[in-house]
Structure 1
Amino acid sequence: MRPPLWPVLSVIVCPPVGPWSELRGIRPSRVWPEDIRVIARAEAERLELPDYDLWLFDSRTLVRMHIDESDTTIGVELINDPDRVLAACRARDAATAAARPTVEVWAHTTSRDH
């Protein structure tokens, strides 16, 4: 039985700088397949995507991450409100359509960009 594909999408500054440039070497797992994509922060703002980290586990459960200025997770919020979950699903779909595979982004990023 083949494991499910886990989509992972990150909003980044383009070209990738700082800690984001460390993602350059990440490749999808062969054991647990992932679809790793990135979207530029400017594009995320244009699409009016949420300005917080979130996880969607299914079409009924949203987890909003609360992260402080030092990138430390200080809490999580489990959300089951159908309207908020639907809004997050729509944001995910818009982001996924606009995002590019990580390996494609890195192929167009020179070593001086990070």
Structure 2
Amino acid sequence: MTLVSGDAFGDLFRSFEHTAFRLEPRERYNSPGEHEPLRRFLAGEPDDLAWNRPWLDLMAEHTAKGRFVHRVRVVSVPLSDYSRFGLWCAEHAIQAGEDIRYLNRAQAQDLPDVDYWLFDSTWAARLRFDEDDVLLGAEIVTDPATVTELVAVRDEAWSRAVDRDRFLSDVVREQGV
């Protein structure tokens, strides 16, 4: 299996024409670029989002060109520190044009545990991680039967997921906060 990583991985997000979808089923992502922002978030320190500006600018660019980038994050409740950080980050990505929805892990037990990007519903990048949750790269998937399965997973996850604000409201209600 050949993995796409580095700049070639980044190029995937400029190679689609209409839609990009991400399913995020992992409890956490150990991205080296997020270590300091996560620390600042947990300490309640300000963050200028410079570390995330390339992604936010790309989302704004896609939105301006009529492209749709969306994702479903499967999240455990009660929320971990990492999930709270992700919800904070999502607010900025949503403002930039990305549509991020949330699905309580308890409602996703029957969904496959596969982390992937699906591009134009015709090909996918199945993400691979090491034992410490660090992204190793992506396996490009073009097999029509596999892509069709991933499309079905996308549709099912999307139909169950709710927007960020509703998810937060549901969590507050469930936890009695």
- TM class by shorter chain equals 0.7 to 0.9
Q: How does 1:1-114 map to 2 (within 5 A)?
A: 3-25=66-88, 26-27=90-91, 28-30=94-96, 33-46=97-110, 49-110=111-172
What is the deviation of 1:2? Answer: 5.3
| Structure 2 CA distance for aligned equivalents of residues 108 and 44 of structure 1 | 16
Q: Which runs of 5+ in 2 are unaligned?
A: 1-63
More strand by share: 1
Residue aligned with 1:89, SS: helix
Q: Is the 8 A contact 1:10 1:39 kept in 2?
A: yes
- What whole-Å deviation, never above 9, does each CA across 1:25-75 have from its counterpart, x for those lacking one? 232124xx12110112222213xx221210001121111000123110112
**Percent of aligned pairs with the same amino acid:** 29
Cα RMSD (Å) of the superposition?
Answer: 1.8
Structure 2 CA distance for aligned equivalents of residues 52 and 69 of structure 1: 15
Aligned residues: 107
Q: Tell me how far apart the structure 1 counterparts of residues 103 and 131 of structure 2 sit (CA, whole Å).
A: 21
**TM-score (normalised: structure 2):** 0.55
The structure carrying a bigger helix percent of its residues is 2
Which residue identity lines up with residue 14 of structure 1 in the other structure? V
